[in-house]
Structure 1
Amino acid sequence: MITIARFSFPYEAHIARAKLECAGLTPFVADEHTINMQWLYSNAMGGVRLQVPEAQAETALEILAQEEDEAALVEEQGCDTAPCPVCHSHNTEYYQFGRRWTFLSIMLLDLPVFPIHDGIKCRNCGQCSKTPPDTDN
């Protein structure tokens, strides 16, 4: 077995291991249990090691070097985010309106006075907008 990559945390090594297993290789994650028990030893031990048989090393390094294209993934798997009403971009994230005021009213009055509304925030233009209520009934 030859070490092809080192990671600070075991979950990072397992993501890479899963990627290699999907390609038909036989990777092994070394030192993960030691790092899980004493994570402060990670740097001293050289991190969690991802290992493969020597014959598969070159192929494994090529697979790990490939970066996933976000646009290709969206095209392949679809996009489930709501579009921005201003710029029509799907680069949005979940956002809640009124959380600060509700938290403040709970702290001061011990009663939630302000309602919290769900919405989206566009990462491209920064616009925040409320999502309409579901009308699937």
Structure 2
Amino acid sequence: MACMFTTVARFADPLEAHIACGRLRAEGIDAHVADAHMGLANWEWRLAVGGTRVLVDESDADFAHKVIRDLDAGAYALDSDASSGATLQAPDRESWSSRLAWIALMLFNVPLPWRRRPPRDDEAVREV
């Protein structure tokens, strides 16, 4: 029997479509992203062609719609760490040399190397 795909969601941003596709795959649904490359290469055409589509098999469409609704409602968002009250986020490793390199690139179109500030003990990445 041939697999017939149907559109379960459309996104203006192709990255959001890939996030939704990843969530659907994590739930065991065979999902695919369509028109993502066109949306990245020709960003001004994104809305004209209807955005980036997420496709699933017709038999999985109802469950996929529920997962997309839950994703939009924030059901899969990370909660804050109950022990410290902190949320999971990447540490700020911007240094004066990275700022200087960015300014040189913007003003003079000259890329410069820079060094990242090493993470402090309290910024160490926690393993989950």
Corresponding residue of 2:79: 74
Aligned to 2:115: none
2:17 is the counterpart of 1:13 = yes
**1:12-91 matched pairs, under 5 angstroms:** 12-66=16-70, 67-68=74-75, 73-74=78-79, 79=81, 90=86
For residues 69 and 9 of structure 1, do their structure 2 counterparts lie closer, same or farther at Cα, with a shift above 3 Å needed? closer
Rg (Cα) greater in structure: 1
Determine the C-alpha separation between the residues in 2 that align with 1:32 and 1:26. Answer: 17
Higher relative contact order (CA 8 A, sep 6+): 2
Instruction: Give the count of matched residue pairs.
Output: 89
Runs of 4+ in 1 over 2 A off after TM superposition: none
> Which residue number in structure 2 is paired with residue 4 of structure 1?
8
Per-residue deviation, 1:64: 1.3
Q: Write the deviation string for residues 6-61 of structure 1: whole angstroms up to 9, x where unpaired.
A: 00111100000000000000011000111111010001000000110100000001
TM-score (ref. length: structure 2): 0.57
Q: State how far apart, in whole Å, the 2-side matches of 1:134 and 1:27 are.
A: 40
Structure 2: stretches of 5+ with no match in the other structure: 93-119, 123-128
Take 1:52 and 1:39, find their aligned partners in 2: how far apart are those partners? 24
Percent identity over the alignment? 31
For the residues of structure 1 that align with 2:76 and 2:60, how far apart are their CA atoms? 24
C-alpha RMSD of the superposition: 3.3
- Structure 1 counterpart of 2:30, one-letter code: T
- Deviation, 1:74, is 3.0
**Structure holding more strand per residue:** 1
